[in-house]
Amino acid sequence: MAQAATEIHHEAHGHDAHAHHGPQGILKYIWSTDHKMIAMQYLFTGMFMGIVGGFMAYVFRMQLAFPGVSVPLFGVVSPGEYNALVTNHGSIMIFWVAMPVLIAAFGNYLIPLMIGADDMVFPRINRLSFQIFLVSVLMILASLFVSGGGFGGAWTSYPPLSAQSQYNLTSIGATMWLIAVALEFVAFLLGGINFIVTLMNARAPGMKAYDIPVVAWMIVIASILFMLSVGPLIAGAIMLLFDQTIGTGFFDPARGGDPILWQHLFWFFGHPEVYVVLLPAVGIVIDIVATFARKKLFGYKIMIFTAVATGVLSFFVWAHHQFIAGIDPRMANIFTVTTLLISVPIAELLFVMIATLYGGNIKLNTPMLWALSFIAEFLIGGVTGIFLGASGADIYLHDTYFVLAHFHYTFFPIAIIGTFAGFTYWFPKMFGKMMDDRLGKIHFWGTIIPFNMIFIPLFVLGLGGQHRRIYNFQNFPELAAMQPFRVLATVSLIIMLLFQLVFFWNCIKSWRGGAKAGRNPWKANTLEWTTESPPPHGNWPRDAMPRVYRGPYEYSVPGREDDYWPQNLPS
């Protein structure tokens, strides 16, 4: 009790020191420009949206397993609602969960702390970024409740369906969806500028490019990818908005437009976007693996350069989403080659992670279990992608549940496993308390086993020819018989969702009564572990900003008594 009180007092004091140039009370949090506060705002908003997206998955999976049933907490799912649920589930999970949590929350929290800076270079732009993001959140949530319902034209929003309300029957919902997505892009453009500039300019004295922890690099490379790829899509979004609202015909063949143009613009962004969310998750995993294997990373530079190579290649593969969309069939051959080539750097990323385990002293606590499961599960996502990159095989597999299971085996490890890994690893830093490891492990197994039980059946359904975005498979005689697989997936999902209660309970319990973490509970090397937990405003006392003397992964260096060697310790 007494401890908690001093903790709170300390918190208040830390902020007071700066309060004279900021508003008071609750506004202090809303208008905070502190990177850690903004990170928390992104984190909790993202997690909340994760609950929304998960709930949507629950509703439409119930409909698929038990067609026509009145879904508890929702009701009967109409075909229009089904489409809107699927569309918004996908959009929310990618744009309002993966992006804010992996890029914005971890990026904001970690970059300044890991490079020894007192804040982002542009704190106000940072705040603006979150505020715009918040508007986009409200916009997408509101779009679900307007007349006509939420947009149901899939997260890819292909015109003419998305462009004309006579086709999609959700004029307001479609436009609100589009505006929400566009605002989200603006938020991340602003945030991205900040990450890049901060990493380039605000590093602690002595920190050279190759002394930067991999996760910070990854978030910055991801931000650069995002900024380079999103431009064409923003242009496309504006054209689509005009098609929707003032009747232009950019994508309408009857008026000289071309619907396939949208697909090129979308996937020119959409494919790099996959790597935008992948790279931060990979960074998180690498930092955790190095810490708990007590190992120097196997090939730091290989890692950074393969990430860059993946990023560059990812700009040349987009049309693998369009093999059978009506593009010139000769083009498919080029994109098959580029797509399969991208397997080389991705395989290399995984090899490096696996090789790092060699010779380690591997501690299997909760964050490490998450990090390792990322490797095991993402590998499934990776290898199944080869089937789809091979144009000849994609003729059959395109838009089936095989694709769906494939990309959930990439996105789930990224967005869910990566988040839990990072969250459980940095929780002690963020909140000053240790999490309960036993509850953490229960939550881990309760998530990872059902996750596989959801999506393995969906692979089978996809190979069986089941297509996506269909609200009732009983209408297709060849598919009707495979119902047990659908039920298995749905039941597994419900089990997985229930196990999330363990996580929330663990958070609350640990936050209120967990053991005090101290500065460096994991005996890790990177700079964020050299300050208090949670770090004060300004991160370190002004006269004691860290200096860097070595790289971030000097674990188990021969001749040293400790098996770690913090970056800021003079030799």
User: d(Cα 96, Cα 262) in Å, to the nearest integer?
Assistant: 22
Q: Which is nearer to other proteins, 318 or 555 (CB)?
A: 555
Residues pairing with 400 in the sheet? 467
Q: Which of 35, 127, 271, 443 touches Cu ion by CB under 5 A?
A: 271
Asked if 77 touches ligand HEM (CB under 6 A), the answer is no
Please check whether residue 223 is in contact with residue 195, taking contact to mean a CB–CB distance below 8 angstroms. Answer: yes
Q: Which is nearer to other proteins, 271 or 295 (CB)?
A: 295
Q: Which is nearer to other proteins, 198 or 410 (CB)?
A: 410
423 binds, among other proteins, ligand HEM, Cu ion, none (CB under 5 to 8 A by kind): none
Q: Which stretch binds Cu ion (CB under 5 A): 55-63, 103-111, 246-254, 264-272?
A: 264-272
User: d(Cα 341, Cα 528) in Å, to the nearest integer?
Assistant: 37
488 binds, among Cu ion, other proteins, ligand HEM, none (CB under 5 to 8 A by kind): none
Q: Is 206 left (phi over 0), alpha (psi -120 to 50) or beta?
A: left
Q: Which is nearer to other proteins, 29 or 167 (CB)?
A: 167
Please check whether residue 119 is in contact with residue 32, taking contact to mean a CB–CB distance below 8 angstroms. Answer: no
Asked if 398 touches Cu ion (CB under 5 A), the answer is no
C-beta of 66: minimal distance to other proteins in Å? 15
Q: Which is nearer to other proteins, 197 or 487 (CB)?
A: 487
Show contacts with ligand HEM in window 450-479 (CB under 6 A): 454, 468-469
Asked if 406 touches Cu ion (CB under 5 A), the answer is no
Cα dihedral 296, 302, 304, 310 in deg (nearest 10): -140
Q: Which stretch binds ligand HEM (CB under 6 A): 53-61, 104-112, 311-319, 528-536?
A: 53-61
User: d(Cα 173, Cα 165) in Å, to the nearest integer?
Assistant: 10
Q: Which is nearer to ligand HEM, 77 or 190 (CB)?
A: 77
C-beta of 505: minimal distance to other proteins in Å? 27
Q: Which is nearer to ligand HEM, 89 or 550 (CB)?
A: 89
Q: Which of 262, 412, 473, 540 touches ligand HEM by CB under 6 A?
A: 412
C-beta of 360: minimal distance to other proteins in Å? 5
User: DSSP for 142-177?
Assistant: HHTTSTT-S--STTTT-TTTTT-HHHHS-HHHHHHH
271 binds, among Cu ion, ligand HEM, other proteins, none (CB under 5 to 8 A by kind): Cu ion
Q: Which is nearer to other proteins, 74 or 351 (CB)?
A: 351
Taking alpha carbons only, the member of 96, 80, 103 closest to residue 140 is 96
Q: Is 200 left (phi over 0), alpha (psi -120 to 50) or beta?
A: alpha
C-beta of 229: minimal distance to other proteins in Å? 23
HSE, side-chain direction, 13 A CA sphere, residue 460: 14
Please check whether residue 527 is in contact with residue 567, taking contact to mean a CB–CB distance below 8 angstroms. Answer: yes
Beta strand extents in 25-96 (DSSP E only): 70-71, 75-76
Q: Is 379 left (phi over 0), alpha (psi -120 to 50) or beta?
A: alpha
Asked if 36 touches Cu ion (CB under 5 A), the answer is no
SS3 call for 450: helix
454 binds, among other proteins, ligand HEM, Cu ion, none (CB under 5 to 8 A by kind): ligand HEM
Q: Which is nearer to ligand HEM, 15 or 398 (CB)?
A: 398
Placement of tokens 């997505």 in the chain: 181
Q: Which is nearer to ligand HEM, 162 or 539 (CB)?
A: 162
Asked if 550 touches ligand HEM (CB under 6 A), the answer is no
Q: Is the sign of the CA dihedral 543, 106, 50, 435 positive or negative?
A: negative
Q: Which is nearer to other proteins, 253 or 541 (CB)?
A: 253
C-beta of 380: minimal distance to other proteins in Å? 7
Q: How far apart are the first and last CA of the chain?
A: 40
Q: Which is nearer to other proteins, 37 or 352 (CB)?
A: 352
Q: Which of 114, 286, 415, 461 touches ligand HEM by CB under 6 A?
A: 415
Please check whether residue 413 is in contact with residue 374, taking contact to mean a CB–CB distance below 8 angstroms. Answer: yes
Q: Which is nearer to other proteins, 122 or 158 (CB)?
A: 158
Q: Which of 42, 96, 250, 411 touches ligand HEM by CB under 6 A?
A: 411
Please return the burial class of 85, using the count of CB atoms within 10 Å of its CB with bins 0-12, 13-18 and 19+: buried
Q: How many CB atoms lie within 10 A of CB 174?
A: 29
Could you give the string, one character per residue 85-124, with x where binding to ligand HEM holds by CB under 6 A and - elsewhere?
A: -xx-xx--xx--xx--------------------------
C-beta of 465: minimal distance to other proteins in Å? 3
Taking alpha carbons only, the member of 204, 160, 162 closest to residue 181 is 162
Taking alpha carbons only, the member of 377, 294, 375, 308 closest to residue 342 is 308
Asked if 443 touches ligand HEM (CB under 6 A), the answer is no
Could you give the string, one character per residue 153-192, with x where binding to ligand HEM holds by CB under 6 A and - elsewhere?
A: -xx-------------------------------------
SS3 call for 76: strand
94 binds, among Cu ion, ligand HEM, other proteins, none (CB under 5 to 8 A by kind): ligand HEM
Please return the burial class of 228, using the count of CB atoms within 10 Å of its CB with bins 0-12, 13-18 and 19+: middle
304 binds, among other proteins, Cu ion, ligand HEM, none (CB under 5 to 8 A by kind): none
SS3 call for 400: strand
Contact footprint for Cu ion (CB under 5 A): 271
Contact footprint for ligand HEM (CB under 6 A): 54, 57, 60-61, 86-87, 89-90, 93-94, 97-98, 154-155, 404, 408, 411-412, 415-416, 454, 468-469, 493
